Structure 1
């Protein structure tokens, strides 16, 4: 039986999240997102079957599913996202799918989107119908929207597909990606990434922000304009490799974001932000939609250890990672942590 293994990176969004959700980016000029791919990978191993069945094993979620490949996928069923992707892309004879993700569930690092990209990449290659990157991106976004029942953003898919540091300019017709030349090693020396310990459901927080803007709430509109301005400032700071300026942009983005919805700083977010700032970080923000998940800080290298100690004392867990340049990748043999079931 033929098999394919694929992986895709998650990401840290430095500025401009939520703006990537249609139709928000059509309501503002200069809409922009800045993110960087990281080494916390999502992985998929796909192997052909000949009995028309679909078998899914999710290692990180500790869930299994066996069903007919052709049976309708019901809303809310276990592993719905993977089942829908399999129906669209898997070989007609059936498929075994095994998945794993290094990022904690609900981390705000785009883990579910990276996993969907890895699965779409593996299944397309296995079936002999590999999609072009933009085709995969659009397909995965649309399937995620079906599963979430609210519009899904796109920035996570760009990071998973292409890797590296990038800006995504949003306009009519979707996003346009621009790779940016950033010193990933010096940026890493100034970055702290921690997990709050509280998983969050991004659709809830994001939809609250989208709804407030579409309902015409003036404070939400002004705050989203501030998020865009912070993203533009972040781009210029990274291009100039002005890390202190980048930290200030990170702090400004969070300052505007928290004004959009009270859900952004719910749970442990506010105390962790305060702990990082008191320890000497230039700036910090939630990753993704907020309300839990991960937080990222930028700090002078000499202050990074103190910021790390401060957020740990406040209840967070540090995440070890590197910034990476590679996006979705197909390998000829299984990668680590994914072991095919017997």
Structure 2
């Protein structure tokens, strides 16, 4: 909830409303492994995205794996094969590329220190570095929330702090670790079977906002996100569902294509079950998630399974909150 508000184009003009974003880190882990390779060359292999190899420092950042090569260049990596594995479907709008980037940055940092703990980058530093590199190669404004969920795990509300203050963000634990299992009974996550492309949707939102055509809508979304965080924190899943339903409706009004036919059918089924449903990321493919009272989610589950069976590859994903974010293992 509150996605896109982590992009400075939105968070700076809306500072008077204290814009924030709520995210839940799922235990669909992404791992990066570094292996020796041909001297002077870098190879990246990612499940679902293929493999590519270039001379160190010469990879095109416009490549589908360009972010990984850009990070390798930042750390002056060479003679390395970067292997990326993710438990989530490729391009599923679950922040996978940002998660992989955080894992890679931490791995390259550890390799540069020869595994010694002294001087290791903090989770905060990893998140801010990978965000900066991603934004620099993407050519469009990027938010912070994917990187922060990756390095910290858990369920957090993030509030966006403008420069010149160095904090960048304030972190609030919205659901304590002891309630993670309970929260899982109130959630569903569905992969719609087709990958997402968020740049165009985000680009349209940015252009609309900059042109002054949608300011009131985004102001309303800030308020809905605040109410969602409050409801989730006190365990009022019915109120959280209502906030989500209204926020999704506002985004669909701005860009109807964020939900395809299958997504609209899933969202309608959630509404009939008294649950809220929202696309992940900027929509346009990828995943949807639902929240509601446990009995309503239990009632919605078989209906979503029935709908998802209409498309090859579409399915429910396991829902478990990740208690831990970034971890680094040396050797082995």
TM-score (norm 1): 0.86
What is the CA RMSD across the aligned residues, in angstroms? 1.9
Whether the 8 Å CA contact 2:61–2:67 is kept in 1: the answer is no
Pair 213,64 (structure 1): closer, same or farther in 2 beyond 3 Å: same
Tell me which of 64, 68, 87 is aligned to 2:55: 68
- The Cα of 1:50 is off from its aligned counterpart by 7.0
1:37 aligns with 2:25: yes
Number of residue pairs aligned between Structure 1 and Structure 2: 314
1:153 corresponds to which residue? 143
The correspondence of residues 200-219 of structure 1 with structure 2, limited to 5 A, is 200-217=196-213
Pair 261,31 (structure 1): closer, same or farther in 2 beyond 3 Å: same
Q: Deviations for 1:244-269, whole angstroms, at most 9, x for unmatched residues?
A: 22222221221222222223224532
Q: Describe the SS at the equivalent of 1:16.
A: coil
- Of Structure 1 and Structure 2, the greater strand share is in 1
Quote the Cα distance in structure 1 between the aligned partners of 2:75 and 2:220.
40
Quote the Cα distance in structure 2 between the aligned partners of 1:272 and 1:102.
23
Quote the Cα distance in structure 2 between the aligned partners of 1:102 and 1:193.
14
Whether the 8 Å CA contact 1:281–1:297 is kept in 2: the answer is no
Whether the 8 Å CA contact 1:198–1:267 is kept in 2: the answer is no
Quote the Cα distance in structure 1 between the aligned partners of 2:80 and 2:68.
12
Quote the Cα distance in structure 2 between the aligned partners of 1:189 and 1:103.
20
Quote the Cα distance in structure 1 between the aligned partners of 2:209 and 2:152.
30
Quote the Cα distance in structure 1 between the aligned partners of 2:261 and 2:55.
40
1:221 aligns with 2:208: no
Q: Describe the SS at the equivalent of 2:25.
A: strand
1:99 aligns with 2:84: yes
Higher alpha-carbon deviation: 234-243 or 33-42: 234-243
Whether the 8 Å CA contact 1:254–1:285 is kept in 2: the answer is yes
Structure 1 gaps of 5+ residues are: 1-14, 335-342
TM-score (norm 2): 0.88
Whether the 8 Å CA contact 2:188–2:319 is kept in 1: the answer is no
Tell me which of 302, 315, 318 is aligned to 1:317: 315
Pair 333,190 (structure 1): closer, same or farther in 2 beyond 3 Å: farther
Tell me which of 105, 115, 118 is aligned to 2:100: 115
1:11 corresponds to which residue? none
Structure 2 gaps of 5+ residues are: 114-118, 309-313
Pair 134,103 (structure 1): closer, same or farther in 2 beyond 3 Å: same
Higher alpha-carbon deviation: 157-166 or 299-308: 299-308
1:164 corresponds to which residue? 154
Quote the Cα distance in structure 2 between the aligned partners of 1:40 and 1:49.
28
Quote the Cα distance in structure 1 between the aligned partners of 2:141 and 2:180.
32
Whether the 8 Å CA contact 2:103–2:326 is kept in 1: the answer is yes
- The Cα of 1:157 is off from its aligned counterpart by 0.7
Whether the 8 Å CA contact 2:238–2:274 is kept in 1: the answer is no
1:303 aligns with 2:296: yes
2:311 corresponds to which residue? none
Whether the 8 Å CA contact 1:198–1:268 is kept in 2: the answer is no
1:25 aligns with 2:11: yes
- The Cα of 1:333 is off from its aligned counterpart by 5.7
Quote the Cα distance in structure 1 between the aligned partners of 2:248 and 2:80.
43
Quote the Cα distance in structure 2 between the aligned partners of 1:18 and 1:78.
22
Whether the 8 Å CA contact 2:28–2:87 is kept in 1: the answer is yes
